[in-house]
Every structure is written in C-alpha cells, then in structure tokens.
Amino acid sequence: MKEFPLPAHQVEAARAWLASPYPPTPPRPAATVILLREAPRGFEVYTVRRSATMKHTPGVTAFPGGSIRPDDLATPLEPRVPLSQWAYLMGEDEEAAHCLLAAAVREVFEETGVLLAPYPKRTPDYCKHERATGELTPHPEETSLSHASIQARILAERRRVELHEYSFASFLAAYGVSLLLDTFAYRGTWITPSFLPRRYHVAFFTALLPEGQDPQLLSTEASDHSWARPLDLLSQAERGEISLVAPTRFHLHELAQAHSIDEALTHRSRRIQYTPAPSRTSPTGYVLH
C-alpha cells in the first residue's frame, strides 16, 4: 500500500492518538464521484477546489461528493446491474448501497448541474400529460420550449434540491428520468483514519460525463473547477500548486496508470483505511500507511 505524507494540520491529532489511542468517532456514510471525459491524450477528470471557508479539508482539490441524506433511500434506481450485485461489490447491504449510489448522483447534480442520466427532453407538464392520457404526443405547452429553456428550468430545480426544498426523487419523477448507472463504476470505499474528529465512510465511483452536458461551478462549497489529466494534477501537487488529500492522490495515481477510459470505468471492490505512523522521510514527520 502506498504511503502518503501526513498533512501538517493533522500532525498534532495523530501524535496525541498514537500516544494514547481513544475511541474513534463513528464515520458518516458519503459518496464521491470522479467524472471522466475523453481528451486528445487519453482522458481527463473533473475536480473542484474546496472553498477556504469549509470546515472539512478547506482549499484542497477534490472530486464532487458529500454525505448521504435520509431521503436518498427514496430515490428510484433502475440499474442495469442488479442492486444486489452493487451491494456485493461495495460490501454493503442493499439499503446502504442504494443510499450511496443515490447520494453520488444527487451530489454531482447539486454541485455541478450534471445529471448522470440521459438529459430530459420533456418538462413536468409533458410528463403529467403522458401519464394522464397515455399519449406520446407533446403537450401544447411543450412545443414552444427549447433545450435551453428546459435546461434553465432544471437548473432552477437543482437549487431547490440543494436547499432541501424539493427531493431528488421528486425531481426525477417530474422529468421522467431513470437512473440506469450504466456508465458508473465502484472504485472502493475509504474510511477516515481513526484519530480524526470528523470521519467519513466514503464510496468512490467513476462516471462518464453524459453527452451534451458540462459541469458548472454552482455550489458555494467550491471556489474553482477544472478538467485535467490525472498525471497533470499529480504534477501540480508535486509543485505545490494544489493540495490533495490521500484518497484523491491515491485515485489519481491509479487513474494515471489506466490505458483507456474504459479501464477507468471498471469496478474495484476494496476497503481502505490508513493509519498514521512516524516517518523520517516525511516533511511533517508522519505518514499515512
């Protein structure tokens, strides 16, 4: 397993824990998504720079994601791969796997406006008309709406989902969207080291950016965003231009070795939990291993 230098702001907590281990804080379940897109030299990943005001990992370069919400279980999933297989891959029961998958899709939508599904071509008015009549002909109000108009409405709905005014499940139902998860892959679960006060049980996924969609910087949790090759991001980190936490660095190293985007979209069933240890070679005197 690769070692990572322990960030300077975590050294005091690690030293105290190594001297006298204390019961760890229970980790909160969360999901992170590594968006991928084809590029002239292989593929690129999408990252955001977390706002300096964030309590958890401020200023670091990371992938979109966040904690599960109670209503994630109500989000309808229609995966081509049975949920039981996702649960087996993830080492979770089906309910937990459902919540993590739903949270992954919802968090990407909330933070970037990207919907990890075919983009809706119909408005809620059209969907209601179809359900009520069984007709596939456009609702009268539908014919005058352009793609840009539908997109504007969806982005407005995104804000309501983010503010918890409207559930993600209600949004999907209103626009007739099915979450098939057919360009989605599980890449492992990371558990925050026991010595940290804020801990997470994070399922990592890779997902192909849907055709015709582009992520936008919509959340106050991030101050910047970009697309870059995994190797380029690692080089930026080595030069001190960006800051990466261990899980992000680990996945970038792994993706930098992938020969194609298809390889980056393969499943990896594993659980990873690092612990701190003294090190003479680390700038901070400690590593995570």
**Tell me: the pLDDT tens digits for 140-179?**
454 445 677 788 888 888 989 989 888 999 999 888 888 9
Structural domain contains residue 155: no
Q: What is the mean pLDDT of residues 82-109?
A: 97
Quote the domain boundaries for residue 202: 26-117+178-270
What is the pLDDT at residue 60? 87
Q: Is residue 131 part of a domain?
A: no
| Residue 19, in any domain of the structure | no
Let me know if residue 238 belongs to a domain. yes
Q: 148 lies in a domain? A: no
Q: What are the tens digits of pLDDT across the range 2-42?
A: 788 888 878 898 999 999 999 999 999 999 999 999 999 89
Domain-embedded: residue 221: yes
In this prediction, residue 205 carries a pLDDT of: 98
Lowest mean pLDDT among 100-104, 128-132, 229-233: 128-132
Residue 129 has pLDDT above 60, yes or no: no
**Three-state SS string across the chain, please?**
CCCEECCHHHHHHHHHHHHCCCCCCCCEEEEEEEEEEEECCEEEEEEEEECCCCCCCCCCEECCEEECCHHHHHCCCCCCCCHHHHHHHHCCCHHHHHHHHHHHHHHHHHHHCCCCCCCCCCCHHHHHHHHHHCCCCCCCCCCCCCHHHHHHHHHHHHHHHHCCCCCHHHHHHHHCCCCCCCCEEEEEEEECCCCCCCCEEEEEEEEECCCCCCCCCCCCCEEEEEEECHHHHHHHHHCCCCCCCHHHHHHHHHHHCCCCHHHHCCCCCCEECCCEEECCCCCCCEEEC
Asked if residue 54 belongs to a domain, the reply is yes
**How many independent structural domains does the chain possess?**
1
The answer on pLDDT for 281 being more than 60 is: yes
Instruction: Check pLDDT > 80 for residue 203.
Output: yes
CATH of the domain at 265: 3.90.79.10
Average pLDDT over residues 48-62: 78
Task: Give domain status of residue 187, yes or no.
Answer: yes
pTM for the whole structure: 0.90
